[in-house]
A = this chain, B = another copy of it.
Amino acid sequence: MNENQAVAALSALSQETRLRMVRYLVTKGGEGAAAGEVAKAAGASSSRASFHLNALSQAGLITATRASRSIIYRVDFAAMGGLIGYLIEDCCQNDPTIVSCCAPLTKQQG
């Protein structure tokens, strides 16, 4: 993960419809979901959904694979993890005696 990739990923996530899509796909895990299903979950028209799914794909946050008439989208969990790691890199200069500031960054996950 470099700066350009991180800005691209964060730009992609900083939009209501796309954030809903990613969060929906996160819950779906490796199974993923078809474009139409994601569009419905995010409350978007098909053209809008397509536009935003393409943006997420360009940013490297999701992948697309065709399955018959549908196109299945899945979160790229390595990319998501890479982004999170980039955001909190060298937290508190990696000082192991300081826990108070870095602790909240690892606790909220579930």
Contact = CB atoms under 8 A, between A and B. Distances in A.
A11 B19 CA distance: 11
B91 A108 contact: no
Interface residues of A, number: 48
Nearest to A17: B7
Interface in A17-60: 19-20, 22-23, 26-30
Contact of A16 (B3, B86, B94, B102): B3
Given A80-B87, A107-B81, A3 B26 contact: no
Contacts of A102: 29, 77
The 6 A-B pairs of least Cβ separation, nearest first, read A85-B108, A81-B104, A29-B92, A10-B14, A11-B14, A81-B108
